[in-house]
Chains A and B, each alone.
Chain A
Amino acid sequence: EIVLTQSPGTLSLSPGERATLSCRASQSIASYLAWFQQKPGQAPRLLIYDASKRATGIPARFSGSGSGTDFTLTISSLEPEDFAVYYCQQRSHWPPITFGQGTRLEIK
């Protein structure tokens, strides 16, 4: 089973700042990585798939990069609605599909 480790656990930033979230896989997963955003009381929402492709309707301030074992989600300039929990997910070697433990992005 591939383990995904996200860092940091919590990120405290202000609106307008740049956010950088990391996800590391326990072995190479090529580019089979996705990022999800989850707000309280809501289902997760797909942001990025195949490491760097934005899902339909996702603003351009969200971008993904990386391949192999190290991946990054960048939010170029934080909007108030971006404060949420973010999860990475791999579907390279599955089953099982696995998720990271999440990064909480909070307002500073």
Chain B
Amino acid sequence: QVHLVQSGAEVKKPGASVKVSCKASGYNFATYTMHWVRQAPGQSLEWVGWINSGDGNTQFLQKFQGRVTITRDTSASAAYMELSSLRSEDTAIYYCVRGSSTTMIAVPFDLWGQGTMVTVSS
């Protein structure tokens, strides 16, 4: 069974940082990319960025440049998204999503984590 399991809900004050983890199981983690997508309450989906789990290369949505870091630990089959200088507008559910394979044809965005609610409030 393939799964992505994320860390639990977080409550942070404005200006703080949050780090969300995403642990993969049931597939070869290092041969797939991983994306992060967020969803503010009652809103649509917003792509945050992605990482090549094999070589660690990353790209982000322009608006998050300088505030977001995406990393991975291949030995733990886990990816991490850290968002700093939090503001109230960052309150959202953050999802990790499996992307494409780097070694074979695969369907991207077919596997989603359960989501992590991040609340930013003073």
Contacts and interface: CB of A to CB of B under 8 A. Distances in A.
Given A43-B95, A43-B115, A99 B46 contact: yes
Contact of A49 (B46, B50, B108): B108
B47 A49 contact: no
Contacts of A55: 107, 110
A92 interface: no
Interface stretch (B8-16, B23-31, B54-62): B54-62
A87 B107 contact: no
A43 B113 contact: yes
Nearest to B35: A97
Contacts of B84: none
Nearest to B64: A96
B36 to A, nearest CB: 11
A91 B108 contact: yes
Interface residues of A, number: 22
A102 interface: yes
B112 interface: yes
Contact of A99 (B45, B60, B110): B45
A55 B110 CA distance: 8
A46 B44 contact: no
Interface of B: 35, 44-47, 49-50, 59-62, 95, 107-110, 112-115
Given A36-B109, A53-B107, A96-B61, 20 more contacts: A34-B109, A43-B112, A43-B114, A43-B115, A44-B112, A45-B112, A46-B109, A49-B107, A49-B109, A49-B110, A55-B110, A87-B44, A89-B45, A91-B108, A95-B47, A95-B61, A97-B47, A99-B45, A101-B44, A102-B44
23 contacts: A36-B109, A43-B113, A43-B115, A44-B45, A44-B95, A45-B112, A46-B109, A49-B107, A49-B108, A49-B109, A49-B110, A55-B110, A56-B107, A56-B110, A87-B45, A89-B109, A91-B108, A94-B47, A95-B50, A95-B60, A96-B47, A97-B35, A101-B44
